[in-house]
Amino acid sequence: MSVGRLRSALDGGDLRRGLAYGLAALVVLAALYGLVFPETMAGDLLRLATSESTLGAALRLAVPIACAAVGGIFAEKAGVINIGLEGLLIISAFTGVFVTDAVGSVFSIPGIWVGFVAGVLASTLLSLLFAVVCIKFRADQIIAGLAVWLIALGLAPFAATVVYGSVNTSSVGTLGTWTIPVLSELPFVGPVLFDASPTVYLMFLVVGGGWYVLNRTSFGRHVRASGENPKALDTAGVDVTRVRYLAITLSGVLSGIGGVGLSLGQVGQFIGNGQTMVNGKGFIAIVAYLFGNYNPLGAFGASVLFAGLDALQLRLQQIPAYAVPSSLVQTIPYVTVIVVLALVGHTRVPSAAGDHYESGED
């Protein structure tokens, strides 16, 4: 109950800031310790965490989380909680690989980019279905979101088994990396930032563009009003339903980029056993934007944090000296998500989020 008291002492914003500073301070302390005593585990961790390959991996792993998170921000800001992001990631990850493999190049566009577009399209269509179910048929948003997740979780392995005889698809190769000439020569940041998968650049575009659209355009204003005070928006002559449809569809497009970014950007195939290769990244994305207080830039920071932990645990498994059981190390990102959620649990949710809005005139 001390948590409750702590929270009543601080309001949400202060707590979030405090948590972020606290985490940063912890990291700095550990880093200092590692610098002073390079022979200790802290030293090893520091070397690992700051190595180019770990940072590069963190950015790659952040792609699905950050893209889905920005998409989720648009939906929730517009007043529809899209808890089905995980399903959108799954369906796009699978479709991207399947179409790359089955269709191949069209009009001399390389097959893998055809697959990329198809994956984004699949996620967009599924999000449109979600929008219709929530808006036209007034379904409970949480249950409809769970349905989107479970449908994708069933459909992708089903289709993979039909086509490939196993829940995993065959391998189609990845999008590779784009090396930006001069900038990639820069020491340290060069290889991390400018010699990366095209999906990483796309993620920067999604995050920056998402922030701009949400905060600097009239569409962004409408989205925010649709979540905070749909009645006022309606009175101002803007069609709330249309804004919500657009926002949910946008969450489908962005999650689609994230999903294909995972399958075609990193792995080159779809893996469908258990929770599929998406493995909860859609739900982590929700926590990322809650932690980032519905700000695309904040959500990006949180995504890199969660993805960084994932990258670190992957590297940690490769060090035999510590013999940390890999199954326990793998829980680190999930446990962190729970802890973060418990500490910033009371976020400032858009006041009309979750509500169905009915315009007076029908």
Partner 1 sequence: MSARDRIESGLRRLVAASWAERLGLSFAALVASVLVGGLIVFFSGTAATCQEPAYGVFGLTSCYNPISVYSVLVTGAFGSILSDPFNFNVALTLKETTLLIFTGLSVAVAFRAGLFNIGSQGQLIFGGLASAITVLTAGPLLTGVGGFLLVPLGILAGALGGAFYGAVPGALKAYAGANEVITTIMLNFVAEQVAFFVVSAYFAAPDSQSVETSQIPPAAVLESALFGSGSDFSIVAFVGGLVLVAGLYYLIKYTAFGFDLRTSGLQPEAARFGGVDAKRTIVSSMALSGAFAGIGGAVWVLMVLGRFQTGVPALGFDGITVSILAGNNPLGVVPAALLFGVLKSGSLAVQLSTGVPIQLVGVLRGLIILFVAMPEFFRLLGKRFVTTDREPAVATDGGEQTPTEPPSTGGDAGDSGGER
Q: Between 181 and 325, whose beta carbon lies closer to partner 1? A: 325
Q: Between 76 and 234, whose beta carbon lies closer to partner 1? A: 76
Strands 195-196, 178-179: parallel, antiparallel or unpaired by DSSP?
A: antiparallel
Distance CA 307, CA 144 (A): 27
Is 119 in contact with 95 (CB distance < 8 Å)?
A: yes
- Interface with partner 1 (CB under 8 A), residue from 39, 107, 137, 187: 137
Interface with partner 1, residue 323, by CB under 8 A: no
Touching partner 1, residues 157-186 (CB under 8 A)? 157-159, 161-163, 167
Distance CA 237, CA 232 (A): 9
What is the per-residue DSSP string for 139-164?
A: --HHHHHHHHHHHHHHHHHHHHHHHH
Interface with partner 1, residue 245, by CB under 8 A: no
Interface with partner 1, residue 331, by CB under 8 A: yes
Q: How far is the CB of 257 from partner 1 (least distance, A)?
A: 22
- Interface with partner 1 (CB under 8 A), residue from 49, 147, 202, 203: 147
Q: Between 55 and 152, whose beta carbon lies closer to partner 1? A: 152
Interface with partner 1, residue 11, by CB under 8 A: no
Touching partner 1, residues 246-285 (CB under 8 A)? 274-275, 279-280, 283-284
- Interface with partner 1 (CB under 8 A), residue from 139, 180, 213, 314: 139
Is 308 in contact with 315 (CB distance < 8 Å)?
A: no
Pick the closest to residue 172 from 237, 253, 116 (CA basis): 116
Distance CA 255, CA 169 (A): 21
CA distances from 329 to 16, 65, 179, 301 (A): 26, 20, 32, 22
Interface with partner 1, residue 138, by CB under 8 A: yes
Touching partner 1, residues 17-46 (CB under 8 A)? none
Interface with partner 1, residue 216, by CB under 8 A: no
Q: How far is the CB of 100 from partner 1 (least distance, A)?
A: 14
Distance CA 241, CA 253 (A): 18
Give the tokens for residue 12: 């949400």
Q: End-to-end distance of the chain based on CA atoms, in angstroms?
A: 48
Interface with partner 1, residue 150, by CB under 8 A: yes
The site for partner 1 (CB under 8 A) is made up of: 1, 3-4, 7, 81, 83, 102, 133, 136-140, 142-144, 146-155, 157-159, 161-163, 167, 274-275, 279-280, 283-284, 286-287, 325, 327-328, 330-331, 334-335, 337-338, 341-343, 345-346, 349, 353-356
